[in-house]
């Protein structure tokens, strides 16, 4: 049976040759050719026969196949029309997969979840995401309040580290805050470039995001909070006071100092030293004083 798995070097090459498929760099296509890696990802994601899974970018079906074996149902979004007949063939033995030909960034995922999965079924996102569009995809899915328990995604290692970063580290920034506002983030695996065809230029990380029941901080306005977070990290070498002065172009130094004092935060600090709680206090203070 193992020899027939899609995610092996020989089978992947055979499928690509049969369908005359070439890799599209514009779509970030790098196919995994190691079944053990895929099964490790599925194990880290906590997938079992009760689970419904959403996959993004199934490619030729390597991960999709392993998900179909381990999960109850798999809903996979594929943007590349060339791959639809390939997937129809490679996955024809599995009746628990639905392939949707649509850009995930434009899809009404909530509606499809209602149609395809059972009521109150645990749902997880498991995907090998294209590097070039990782952040927009994850932020769309996180902000749409999908009924998803967790997201386990293979992404560029550097980006995975940034999303899971803690304060006072070089990788901690506005992306860390945005992701950790909605989820608990952990890098659960590192994956070498050698298990892909073609090999990408960098190594990958598997990031597991577990959905929070509610955000860890209370903010008066989410959009305003995220705008203040962006401002605090706008130029990492600058102090909070200078970054905020640049953000509030019409506000004078006195008003900014006043808000920082009221929030109890030293304006000489830099963004990476602030916890999410401190950023929430800062954002709420500015919102109440000047919005």
CB 245 within 8 A of CB 234: no
Given a cut of 90, whether residue 10 has pLDDT beyond it is yes
Given a cut of 80, whether residue 219 has pLDDT beyond it is yes
- Going by pLDDT thresholds of 50, 70 and 90, the confidence category of residue 26 is low
Given a cut of 70, whether residue 275 has pLDDT beyond it is yes
pLDDT of residue 145: 86
Mean of all residue pLDDT scores within the chain: 93
Pick from 249, 80, 269: nearest CA to 167 = 269
Mean of the pLDDT values across residues 194-223? 94
Given a cut of 50, whether residue 279 has pLDDT beyond it is yes
242: annotated binding-site residue? Answer: no
Mean of the pLDDT values across residues 98-119? 96
- CATH superfamily, with its number, for domain 2-211: Vaccinia Virus protein VP39 (3.40.50.150)
78: annotated binding-site residue? Answer: yes
pLDDT of residue 205: 97
Task: For residues 22 and 53, give the distance between their C-alpha atoms in angstroms, rounded to a whole number.
Answer: 27
- Per-residue burial over 147-164, b = 16 or more CB atoms within 10 Å of its CB, e = otherwise: bbbbbbbbbbbebbbbbb
Given a cut of 70, whether residue 42 has pLDDT beyond it is yes
57: annotated binding-site residue? Answer: yes
Given a cut of 50, whether residue 2 has pLDDT beyond it is no
Which of the residue ranges 88-92, 139-143, 196-200 would you say has the lowest mean pLDDT?
A: 196-200
pLDDT of residue 248: 85
- Residues of CATH 1.10.8.100 domain(s) within the chain? 222-290
Task: For residues 183 and 180, give the distance between their C-alpha atoms in angstroms, rounded to a whole number.
Answer: 5
> Full-prediction pTM beyond 0.85?
yes
Mean of the pLDDT values across residues 189-216? 93
96: annotated binding-site residue? Answer: no
Share of the chain above pLDDT 90, in %: 84
pLDDT of residue 23: 66
- Going by pLDDT thresholds of 50, 70 and 90, the confidence category of residue 28 is low
103: annotated binding-site residue? Answer: yes
Given a cut of 70, whether residue 251 has pLDDT beyond it is no
Residue 185 token pair: 């983030």
Which of the residue ranges 76-80, 160-164, 187-191, 200-204 would you say has the lowest mean pLDDT?
A: 200-204
Mean of the pLDDT values across residues 117-139? 94
- Going by pLDDT thresholds of 50, 70 and 90, the confidence category of residue 201 is confident
128: annotated binding-site residue? Answer: yes
Q: What fold does the segment set 222-290 form as a domain?
A: Helicase, Ruva Protein; domain 3 (1.10.8)
Given a cut of 70, whether residue 268 has pLDDT beyond it is yes
- Residues of CATH 3.40.50.150 domain(s) within the chain? 2-211
Rg, C-alpha atoms of the chain: 22
């Amino acid at each position: 049976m193992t020899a027939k798995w899609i995610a092996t070097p020989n089978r992947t090459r055979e499928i690509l040759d049969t369908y005359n498929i070439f890799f599209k760099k514009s779509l970030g296509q790098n196919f995994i050719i190691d079944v053990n890696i895929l099964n490790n990802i599925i194990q880290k994601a906590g997938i079992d026969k009760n689970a419904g899974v959403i996959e993004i970018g199934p490619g030729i079906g390597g991960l999709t196949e392993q998900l179909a074996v381990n999960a109850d149902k798999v809903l996979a979004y594929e943007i590349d029309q060339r791959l639809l007949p390939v997937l129809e063939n490679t996955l024809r033995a599995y009746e628990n997969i639905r392939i949707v030909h649509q850009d995930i960034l434009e899809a009404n995922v909530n509606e499809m979840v209602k149609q395809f999965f059972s009521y109150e079924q645990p749902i997880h996102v498991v995907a090998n995401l294209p590097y070039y569009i990782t952040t927009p995809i994850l932020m769309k899915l996180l902000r749409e309040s999908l009924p998803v328990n967790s997201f386990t995604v293979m992404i560029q290692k550097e980006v995975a580290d940034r999303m899971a970063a803690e304060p006072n580290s070089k990788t901690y920034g506005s992306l860390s805050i945005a992701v950790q506002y909605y989820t608990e983030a952990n890098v659960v695996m590192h994956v070498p470039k050698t298990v892909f065809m073609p090999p990408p230029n960098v190594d990958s990380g598997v990031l597991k995001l577990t959905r929070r029941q509610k955000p860890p901080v209370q903010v008066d306005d989410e959009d305003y909070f995220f705008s203040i977070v962006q401002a605090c990290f706008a130029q990492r070498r600058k102090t909070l006071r200078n970054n905020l002065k640049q953000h509030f172009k019409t506000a004078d130094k006195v008003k900014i100092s006043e808000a920082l004092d009221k929030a109890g935060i030293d304006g000489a600090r830099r963004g990476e030293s602030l916890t999410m709680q401190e950023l929430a206090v800062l954002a709420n203070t500015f919102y109440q004083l000047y919005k």
